[in-house]
Amino acid sequence: MEKLEKTPSRLEMTNILSKLLKETAVDETEYVVNLSLGQLAPGYKQVVFNIAEKMMLSAIAKGYGVEKILVAKRYKKLGDLGEVAESFSKSKGKSKLDVSEVFGELMKIAEDSGEGSVERKVEGVAKLLSGLDSRSARFLARIPVGKLRLGFSDKTIIDALSWMETGGKGESKRIEEAYNVIPDVGILAKNIKKSGIDKAVENVDPELGVPLLPMLAQRLKSPAEMIEKMGKVHVEPKFDGLRIQIHFKVGKSHPGLVSGSQILKPVQNDKISGGFIKAFTRNLNETSWMFPELSGAGEQIEADEVILDTEAIGVDEERKTLANFQSTMTRRRKHDIESIASKVKIRFYVFDIMYKNGKSLIHLPYTKRREILAETIKGKGVLEVVDYVSTDNPEKINELMRLELKEGMEGIIVKRADSDYIAGRTGWRWVKMKEEEGQKAKLADSVDCVVMGYIKGRGKRTAFGIGGFLAGIVDGEVVKTLTKVGTGLTDEQFRELAARLKRLEVGEKPKEYGEVSKTLIPDVWVTPSLVVELAADEITKSPIHSAGYALRFPRLVKFRDDKGWRDATTLKEVKKLFKLQ
């Protein structure tokens, strides 16, 4: 970890990780991978420590027998819990604990809940720290508070696994394809160590309760080009909603209980019935708690098990219209969810099915999947199957585009009739279109950017605490600068942005950020987390921004809480948007 922390080179990181994985025992591989990523399990498993910085300060004080006030004072000076723990540790020799033991103890701490759990968590971390050498203490102290951040993600681990087996990145694509179906890089690494790449990645099928990485749409403005690249297509409306993947398993009948959806609980499995319904966002977070109405979805599903791809949209029952994204996202507040749910009704517009009754459907053509979907979802209720029109006529695509815009939709999604379900924006399988062909040259789509830091408020904006922010896009594992945004925000957006960024402040530029021009350096850096959707008049070439491009007249459209920072727009996509202009 110390070697990884010191190197800025992506290639060197991959090399270090490949050597580490090569030396790791098979039964410890999963633990080593997850700990190096600063976690105990992938996000969708929801293994959360619930340890605040103050609790970690108490654990350090207890573990090393020093006053908490001294620990707090040193933290104020150093600004890093890891360095604080290391500075109090007297143990310079070898740790008493091995990786399996550390992982096991951390898992116990994370799973502890209920009365007295805060004290037990502090005690558990303190005991762990006292059994480690000072360097190990530095890294362990950062993990429970989410501050390990060595500057790499699952993608680098995938490259390292290829490197470990072949000495290069040649097998990364195959490994990534398996990861896209079961996105647990720890288990994948263990399987590759155990039986090699070929056996570990062949015939990987979706599993109920494990979210697949979603299929995404490319951008094109020309329907003629769409037909040329894709042949016969299905055209669907593009909704301004929240992408949700639904996993459903029907419960079994038991005495005194009703079988089917009535016994399903949207938040957790019903242990008696064995049934569940789960909802995952596009960044694989489980958000079942947001949608209590899903407990009734089983009444429409004619199957024992399904995985569905949907768009969740707020519905204004009185006006019979669809709400916008921001209205739908009011659901992100956990408290008083029943009250919020009663005000904003949600409907799930279903457009794909990837799994049914134990069988994977991802390698079937889209047309066939839609036939199966029509047989599986019955009637209209909380679930509604999205209509589509089949065509190979470019003018028909333009006509449908005009119709959907008139209906208040964002545009259309055009899908190749024979395409299978593949994660990401690969090939010309799905294409989105937000404006008619032949319109005056302008930016064809918005851009999802990572907020990298902010400029303190001056003049009128002193009250907000923020005057503007630096935003970037993703290039591989690195965030590159694309724009500075200081206008196009309402007073309310400035206040909300300031509150969100306050929680993400860090003392120095995060390792995930690439080169930043001196003229662009913000007053305050923030850790990569918040994604914002930006509109602009156009993309221009830029000698200042590290992306090589800039946005002209950028403005904030909305906060994208459904996206992790690695889901932001890529440099490759920005280059395509530039050409589309």
Question: What value does the mean pLDDT take over residues 185-197?
Answer: 96
393-420 residues labelled b (16+ CB within 10 A) or e (exposed) = ebebbbebbeebbeeebbbbbbbbbebb
For the chain, the farthest-separated pair of C-alpha atoms sits apart, in whole angstroms, at 76
pLDDT tens-digit series, residues 117-128: 999 999 999 999
Is 193 catalytic? The answer is no
**Does residue 252 register a pLDDT over 70?**
no
Compute and round to an integer the Cα radius of gyration of the chain.
Answer: 25
d(CA 166, CA 148) in angstroms, rounded, equals 29
pLDDT attached to residue 269: 41
How many residues are present in the chain? 581
Q: Which CATH code fits 218-433? A: 3.30.470.30
Residue type, 439: Q
CATH number for domain 447-580, candidates 1.10.3720.10, 2.40.50.140, 1.10.260.40, 3.50.50.60: 2.40.50.140
Query: Which run of H or of E encompasses 84?
Result: helix 81-88
Give the pLDDT score at 262: 37
CB 472 within 8 A of CB 513: yes
> What confidence tens digit (pLDDT) does each residue in 402-441 have?
999 888 888 999 999 999 999 888 888 999 988 765 555 4
Instruction: Give the span between the Cα atoms of 482 and 226, in whole angstroms.
Output: 29
E strand spans, 72-222: 218-219
Task: Using pLDDT thresholds of 50, 70 and 90, give the confidence band for residue 226.
Answer: very high
CB neighbours of 28 closer than 8 A, spacing ≥ 6?
98, 99, 100
| Cα torsion angle, 62, 67, 68, 74, sign | negative
Band of residue 253 on the pLDDT scale cut at 50, 70, 90: very low
**pTM of the prediction?**
0.84
Return the SS3 of 236: strand
Q: Per the residue annotation, which of 62, 121, 221, 238 is the catalytic one?
A: 238
Compute φ and ψ for 372, nearest 5 degrees.
Answer: -65, -40
pLDDT beyond 90 at 182: yes
For the stretch 295-333, pLDDT in tens is 889 999 999 999 999 999 887 655 555 665 555 655 555
Mean pLDDT, residues 256-274: 40
For 61-89, the pLDDT digits (tens) are 999 999 999 999 999 999 899 999 999 99
Q: Distance between terminal CA atoms of the chain? A: 44
Bridge partners (DSSP) listed for residue 237: 412
Q: What percent of the chain has pLDDT over 70?
A: 89
| b/e sequence 154-187, b meaning 16+ C-beta within 10 Å | bbbbbbbbbbbbeeebebbebbbebbbbbbbbbb
pLDDT in tens, 511-527: 999 999 999 999 999 99
- Of 294, 334, 452, nearest to 48 by C-alpha is 334
Alpha carbon of 223 to those of 364, 366, 393: distances in Å? 25, 19, 8
**Inter-CA distances, 159 with 17, 156, 165, 513, Å:** 9, 5, 10, 20
Report the mean per-residue pLDDT for the chain.
88
List of residues 6+ apart from 182 with CB closer than 8 A: 188, 204, 206, 207, 210
> Does residue 572 surpass a pLDDT of 90?
yes
E-strand stretches of 439-567: 447-455, 468-475, 478-485, 505-506, 524-526, 531-535, 538-541, 549-552, 555-559
Residue whose structure tokens are 């502890």? 112
Q: Which helix (H) or strand (E) holds 253?
A: none
CA 224/CA 226 separation, integer angstroms: 5
Helix (H, G, I), strand (E, B) or coil at 187: helix
The residue among 412, 415, 418, 512 whose CA lies nearest residue 472 is 512
Mean pLDDT of 157-181: 96
Four-CA torsion 305, 308, 314, 320, nearest 10 degrees: -90
> Percentage of residues in the chain with pLDDT exceeding 90?
70
Phi–psi pair at 46, nearest 5 degrees: 55, 45
Domain coordinates in residue numbering, the chain: 218-433, 447-580
